[in-house]
Chains A and B, each alone.
Chain A
């Protein structure tokens, strides 16, 4: 069974950089091969990992769903789907990457989404570690991919409102009936290692479990600013060390 780590958080919390750091962590620990899934159409995990996307799953399901059946040849959609998904995989060093892309347009996607889910479920069996960068609603995780995760990390900024948003994401994961073993909160971009008392109250109010905090780090900001991949973040950077410590404590097996 693969170990699935899902990352969620609202826009601007640094969740994609965090996802990239998890991939980097797993590679450094020799926990490979990894399948990284970019399931947030408004983020770009591929850039954090220094890879270019040729085709998203959204584009290929769109193409399959709009095939006129009377013009379809003797190759069924389920067979076409498998080939197309495998060609859409970006193959990096230690990890492969799948970009889900935009959700569908009008019309019926029941059948292709069903095929997608079974094809991706089959594919994930080839990878001992899976890292999924989700959008806040976790639509892809519930409808199109594995439907379960060993670990869900919700990334938040240090503000009380940010943490309330993180609590809502936790609720959503329950509403969409995702099978998640452990849910933890990570607070990112913390200044001077201090949390606001009001933030602590929100954490307590919603019963969130804090996995740790990550300091605001100039090295990461520079990396983002220069659009460089996460693998170029120096190991002595404070955020790098803190993220590695948090992940060490989470016992990823």
Chain B
């Protein structure tokens, strides 16, 4: 039926420089991209392939070119949110084609066609398009109509990429606005269990891993790619306590993965059943009883924190997968979360921050609070801190 074989067995085979007939996109081509767009039923012609610019057979062997792949689909049950999911399938299906290599996504795509596959007769985007359309419609019957456009004309590709970037941006903005209530799946990470055997990170759109490297999106992608790996789905289950953010699904997985050591996580609290900490956290939140507030100190902070101990001693208290009330390891960007320590009072309970952190999160601290939070320049011990908070009129002193 086709000039080359098609199937999942060809996935992941890199095609080397000496082996490709044509290279499309990649690090040396400034503009390249792909996009799936949902259209009205009447807007597209089913199973049509359009080629704008040179076709594969028109180029010199071993050359590199710009490429934009526009996949237009229509169907009664299709929803806008599905576009990125279908777009990821371009990568998967291209790699099903023998001797056709597809890497990455959005405006970073990189493709190569093997000389052998070209010799076998795969010399036109028309055939590539036919294969992709067959895969899309047979695996995703929700798609009723599909039309694919391959663009190699440099000026046209540039124009389409610049338009597509706006679409990618809009998707990212939606993702950034995502809250725990919007979704059912949280993710867990046990990568650090080698040195903190009872620790598990619960990752939500509003609470990333303590090390700052696994976002909710990363957890989701990693789980999809490697379901047996250290990141896995945690169905949040029932919200048992809407003030302490205790979820039944979280508790179950925490108990299971900590071998029964911990059974309850209050997702956004330092004071009661706090999330455990591994050892990799970027910063530590610590409770200061004299002022009933919190200080935060990060890994790069040199010297003693306001309570007279350095990061390293606090890290000893907080780490190791033990629930230690009053101590919590965090990623600095957790401070940007709308749910940041929401059960304990959130940002307005923060009384001391190293200057470096304070400046890096300036945009999220309310203007009338900013100058009331002390730094190492304002207070070196709790007595000085209390004086500072009183003088500046910090809300906790009111």
Q: Which residues of A pack against B, CB within 8 Å?
A: 33, 64-65, 67-70, 72-80, 82-83, 86-87, 91, 93-94, 96, 106-108, 110-112, 114-115, 118, 122-123, 125-126
Contact = CB atoms under 8 A, between A and B. Distances in A.
A125 to B, nearest CB: 7
B226 interface: yes
Nearest to A90: B17
Which of A83, A108, A115, A125: most chain B Cβ within 10 A? Answer: A108
A107 B210 CA distance: 11
Contacts of B226: 118
A114 B230 contact: yes
13 contacts: A67-B213, A68-B333, A73-B169, A73-B172, A73-B175, A76-B215, A77-B218, A83-B108, A91-B17, A93-B18, A108-B282, A122-B12, A126-B16
Interface in B79-93: 84
B287 to A, nearest CB: 24
Contacts, number: 109
B209 A111 contact: yes
B331 interface: yes
A1 B199 CA distance: 36
Interface residues of B, number: 49
Contacts of B229: 114, 118
Contacts of A126: 12-14, 16
Given A68-B332, A106-B300, A110-B192, 11 more contacts: A33-B18, A72-B217, A74-B217, A77-B214, A78-B222, A87-B26, A87-B110, A107-B211, A111-B214, A112-B213, A114-B230
A59 to B, nearest CB: 14
Nearest to A86: B103
Majority-rule SS of A interface residues? helix
A74 B282 contact: no
A68 B106 CA distance: 20
B329 to A, nearest CB: 10
A76 B169 CA distance: 14
Contacts of B300: 106
A156 B265 CA distance: 55
B104 interface: yes
Contacts of B217: 72, 74, 76
B215 A72 contact: yes
Given A69-B213, A108-B213, A79 B221 contact: yes
Contacts of B220: 76
Contacts of A80: 104
Nearest to A124: B14
B100 to A, nearest CB: 14
B168 A73 contact: yes
A106 B355 CA distance: 19
A111 B213 contact: yes
Interface in B169-197: 169, 171-172, 175-176, 189, 191-192
B351 interface: no
B299 interface: yes
A167 to B, nearest CB: 29
B149 interface: no
Given A83-B104, A125-B12, A110 B211 contact: yes
Interface in B215-236: 215, 217-218, 220-222, 225-226, 229-230
Which of A64, A83, A91: most chain B Cβ within 10 A? Answer: A83
Contact of A65 (B12, B171, B213): B213
A101 to B, nearest CB: 18
Contacts of B103: 82-83, 86
Interface string B68-102: 00000000000000001000000000000000000
A118 to B, nearest CB: 7
A110 B222 CA distance: 14
B289 interface: no
Which of A80, A86, A106, A110: most chain B Cβ within 10 A? Answer: A110
A76 B221 CA distance: 6
A78 B299 contact: no
A125 B54 CA distance: 33
Contacts of B208: 69
Contacts of A74: 84, 168, 171-172, 175, 217
A209 to B, nearest CB: 33
Which of A76, A80, A115, A122: most chain B Cβ within 10 A? Answer: A76
A53 to B, nearest CB: 14
Q: Which 7 pairs show the lowest CB-CB distances between chains A and B?
A: A108-B280, A76-B221, A108-B211, A91-B17, A83-B104, A126-B14, A111-B213
Contact of A69 (B26, B27, B105, B333): B333
Given A83-B110, A86-B110, A111-B191, A69 B16 contact: no
B156 interface: no
B106 A75 contact: yes
A96 B221 CA distance: 28
Which of A69, A79, A80: most chain B Cβ within 10 A? Answer: A69
Contacts of A93: 18
